[in-house]
Amino acid sequence: MKFLDQTKIYVRSGNGGAGAVSFRREKFIPFGGPDGGDGGRGGDVWIESADGLNTLIDYRYQQHFKAQTGGHGMGQNRHGANGESLVLKVPTGTQVLDEDKETILADLDKPGMRVLLARGGNGGFGNAYFKSSVNQAPEHANPGLEGEERTLWLRLKLIADAGLVGLPNAGKSTFLRAVSGATPKVADYPFTTLHPHLGVVTVGEGERFVMADLPGLIEGAAEGTGLGTRFLGHVERCVALVHLIDATDEDPAAAYETVRHEIEVYGAGLDEKPEIVALNKIDAMTLEEAEEKREALAEAIGKEVRLVSGVSGAGVRDLVNEIAAMLRERRVEERKEAAPQTDWAP
């Protein structure tokens, strides 16, 4: 399935049905009077987040969506049928933006959220509505109101617990393959990963988390160089970042600073997220060489550095357990912040 995280759509709600002009004409009833019914209401257009979806590919080949028009009123005071509403299913984490591509109208960050995009037009009144003591035979009815139409942008930001970041060819895809059942493309050239991949990592019985493998960042990515900032938006929802650095790189510290600079320039609070730094591909060198590089990198960046290999599996399980522990701590903190504050105690 092709990954699509941004698309433009056009939606229109249904028009309201027109009211009817009708008079009751039956034998032996000389004064039947008006009996035109009201028109039905036009259908609404809704958008709803749903589990099981992870791409906007359904909106790649169909961008126009229109709800059903309300039925017209009929004689004998019959009300027109209401138009059927239209519900657009999107992956959890989808944002709805106005046509300017900047104003966020809705953020569907939880499963089952539903937002009204366009309200259907009301049905028109039939001539029975207008009868009165001074107008006992009205010969007019209202047309239905027109529905709303608008052009919108859908932008997907993946919901993941941990995000893998690093330069191209840092071994992120290989690492994701080693810890989950995901099968991202792996090759010996830069920018092998052109779109994010999600993998479910199992830590223990009943405990698992979602990890996202993001395309590599290069210098100037925050200004649009390379694949640009389009995929950095997927990291915004991650609880923690896992920064992988190629241990065979001549200057791992420079590689780390390059990615960190782009994250800080991008903003959106990415630089404030918890980060775990790991030297990857240690299977390509001796243990002594790996330790020397780890110590040098830790001293240069002032953070603890782990040693892992997505190919041999060395250090992978320890790193996964550390990520899971960090996620547990963050969830506990989030629950405490969300809990209502009260000074009263029994």
As separate numbers, helices (DSSP H) first and strands (DSSP E) second, the chain gives 4, 14
Nearest to 108 by CA among 22, 50, 26: 50
Contact by Cβ (8 Å): 144, 39? yes
Query: What is the model's pLDDT at position 194?
Result: 57
At 275, which helix (H) or strand (E)?
Answer: strand 275-280
Within this chain, do residues 11 and 134 fall inside the same structural domain, yes or no? yes
Among 156, 176, 205, residue at a domain's last position: 156
Query: What is the model's pLDDT at position 268?
Result: 72
Within this chain, do residues 62 and 97 fall inside the same structural domain, yes or no? yes
Query: What is the model's pLDDT at position 3?
Result: 65
Query: What is the model's pLDDT at position 219?
Result: 58
Q: How far apart are CA 162 and CA 313, in angstroms?
A: 19
Contact by Cβ (8 Å): 8, 64? no
Q: Residue 294: what residue type?
A: R
The count of structural domains within the chain is 2
The label of the residue with tokens 């650095």 reads: 245
Query: What is the model's pLDDT at position 182?
Result: 59
Within this chain, do residues 58 and 90 fall inside the same structural domain, yes or no? yes
Count of CA atoms in the C-beta half-sphere (13 A) of 338: 6
What DSSP string runs through 35-62?
-PPPPPPPPPEEEEEETT----GGGTS-
Within this chain, do residues 140 and 203 fall inside the same structural domain, yes or no? no
In a domain, 136, yes or no: yes
Say which residues have a Cβ less than 8 Å from residue 5's Cβ, sequence separation at least 6. Answer: 55, 56, 155, 156, 157, 158, 195, 196, 230, 231, 233, 234
Contact by Cβ (8 Å): 274, 245? no
Could you tell me whether strands 207-213 and 197-204 are parallel, antiparallel, or unpaired per DSSP bridges?
antiparallel
In a domain, 345, yes or no: no
Within this chain, do residues 58 and 83 fall inside the same structural domain, yes or no? yes
In a domain, 343, yes or no: no
Among 156, 191, 211, residue at a domain's last position: 156
Could you tell me whether strands 45-50 and 114-118 are parallel, antiparallel, or unpaired per DSSP bridges?
antiparallel
CATH number of the domain where residue 80 is located? 2.70.210.12
Nearest to 77 by CA among 41, 40, 38: 38
* Tens of each residue's pLDDT in the chain, 346 residues: 456 778 899 999 999 999 999 999 888 888 888 999 999 999 999 999 887 777 788 888 899 999 999 999 999 999 999 999 999 999 888 889 999 888 989 988 888 889 999 999 999 999 999 999 899 889 999 999 999 999 999 988 776 788 888 887 777 888 888 877 656 555 554 555 556 777 778 887 777 778 877 766 655 544 555 455 666 677 777 778 888 888 888 888 888 888 888 778 777 777 788 888 888 888 888 888 888 888 888 888 888 888 888 788 788 888 888 888 888 887 777 667 655 555 555 5
Q: Which domain holds residue 23?
A: 1-156
The label of the residue with tokens 């547990």 reads: 328
Burial status of residue 297 (CB atoms within 10 A of its CB: 0-12, 13-18, 19 or more): buried
Say which residues have a Cβ less than 8 Å from residue 334's Cβ, sequence separation at least 6. Answer: none
Contact by Cβ (8 Å): 20, 139? no
Within this chain, do residues 67 and 212 fall inside the same structural domain, yes or no? no
Within this chain, do residues 259 and 288 fall inside the same structural domain, yes or no? yes
Within this chain, do residues 146 and 187 fall inside the same structural domain, yes or no? no
Phi-psi region of 171 (alpha: psi -120 to 50; beta: other; left: phi over 0): left
Query: What is the model's pLDDT at position 325?
Result: 85
At 332, which helix (H) or strand (E)?
Answer: helix 316-338
Within this chain, do residues 167 and 125 fall inside the same structural domain, yes or no? no
Say which residues have a Cβ less than 8 Å from residue 192's Cβ, sequence separation at least 6. Answer: 168, 169, 173, 185, 186
Within this chain, do residues 176 and 317 fall inside the same structural domain, yes or no? yes
Q: How far is CA 164 from the centre of its chain?
A: 18
Q: How far apart are CA 200 and CA 298, in angstroms?
A: 29
Within this chain, do residues 93 and 147 fall inside the same structural domain, yes or no? yes
Among 156, 179, 210, residue at a domain's last position: 156
In a domain, 346, yes or no: no
Locate 128 and state its tokens: 């029975």
